[in-house]
Amino acid sequence: METSLRDVLEEALARYNEGWAPVAVAELVEIEGDVAKVKLTGSFCQTCGAYGYMEDLSEHIGGEILDFEPIPMGFLVHYRVRPTGSEG
CB 16, CB 57: distance < 8 Å: yes
User: Total structural domains in the chain?
Assistant: 1
Summarize pLDDT for 3-38 with one digit per residue, the tens.
Answer: 799 999 999 999 999 999 999 999 999 999 999 999
87 part of a folded domain = no
Give the residue numbers spanning the domain of 15.
5-81
Phi-psi region at 74: left, alpha or beta (left = phi > 0; alpha = psi -120 to 50)? left
CB 52, CB 27: distance < 8 Å: no
This model's pTM is above 0.85? yes
Residue 77: which CATH number? 3.30.70.990
Summarize pLDDT for 44-82 with one digit per residue, the tens.
Answer: 988 888 999 999 999 999 999 999 999 999 999 999 997
- Cβ neighbour number for residue 13 with a 10 Å cutoff: 20
Residue 40 parent element (H or E)? strand 35-41
